[in-house]
Amino acid sequence: MMNASKYKRQYFMPPENCMEWTKKEYIDRPPIWCSVDLRDGNQALVIPMSLEQKIEFFKLLVKIGFKEIEVGFPAASETEYQFLRALIEQDLIPEDVTIQVLTQAREHIIRKTFEAVKGAPRAIVHVYNSTSLSQREQVFKKSKEEILQIAVDGAALLKKLADETEGNFLFEYSPESFTGTEPEYALEVCNAVLYVWKPTADKKA
């Protein structure tokens, strides 16, 4: 057995003792936390939650204090769709809570998503499409320009449907498989989407 006592404690100052960073701006209040348990978390379960379990879980997340809650991918399944409709029709969404829904940048899925979210006073619509090199070349067999156009078309349809639907809608875009996407290209796609949305202080994206 090794004799651990032979190792003496050595105290030393860290190599960087400049504390100028403390003078920089910092947040003085907590950020808004968004729970994704009902969508991403549920997707990871062997046996997904039922409609009743989802409603109970939503109430728990509200009780915990979450102000933004991703409630699902309403176009993915009937349960996801009916869950969102139940939250809206049963008036289960508090005034200070914003729900979030996920959709691919595909026309029929986006339209189904807006059907599901109809009647919600406020919602974040999170749209995405694949941008990674491997997916462009192997899955979609499309060029950078074609993939960018998918994102732009999806963003434009989101904006159009939001303008036609009663309620306050915020937009979010994600380049799927970002870690496999060239950083410069990911930035180009995101900027193209923002150009379509033209976010403001009231209409955030």
pLDDT of residue 29: 78
Give dist(CA 128, CA 147) in Å, integer.
Answer: 11
What residues form DSSP beta bridges with 126? 102, 172
Q: Which amino acid is at 156?
A: A
pTM above 0.95, yes or no: no
- Contact 67/89 with Cβ under 8 angstroms? no
Domain spans of the chain, in order of start: 31-197
User: What would the pLDDT profile of 151-179 be if each residue is shown by its tens digit?
Assistant: 999 999 999 999 999 999 999 999 999 99
Give dist(CA 122, CA 109) in Å, integer.
Answer: 20
Strands (E) across the chain are located at 34-35, 68-72, 98-104, 122-130, 168-176
pLDDT of residue 7: 65
pLDDT of residue 200: 85
Which residues lie closer than 8 Å to 9 by C-beta, 6 or more apart?
A: none
Q: pLDDT per position in the chain (205 positions), as tens?
A: 667 676 666 666 666 667 676 677 777 777 889 999 998 777 778 888 999 999 999 999 999 999 999 999 999 989 999 999 999 999 999 999 999 999 999 999 999 999 999 999 999 999 999 999 999 999 999 999 999 999 999 999 999 999 999 999 999 999 999 999 999 999 999 999 999 999 887 777 7
pLDDT of residue 1: 62
Which residues lie closer than 8 Å to 23 by C-beta, 6 or more apart?
A: none
Give dist(CA 24, CA 27) in Å, integer.
Answer: 10
pLDDT of residue 90: 97
> 31-197 has which fold?
TIM Barrel (3.20.20)
Give, in degrees to the nearest 5, the angle at Cα 109 between 106 and 111. 105
pLDDT of residue 44: 77
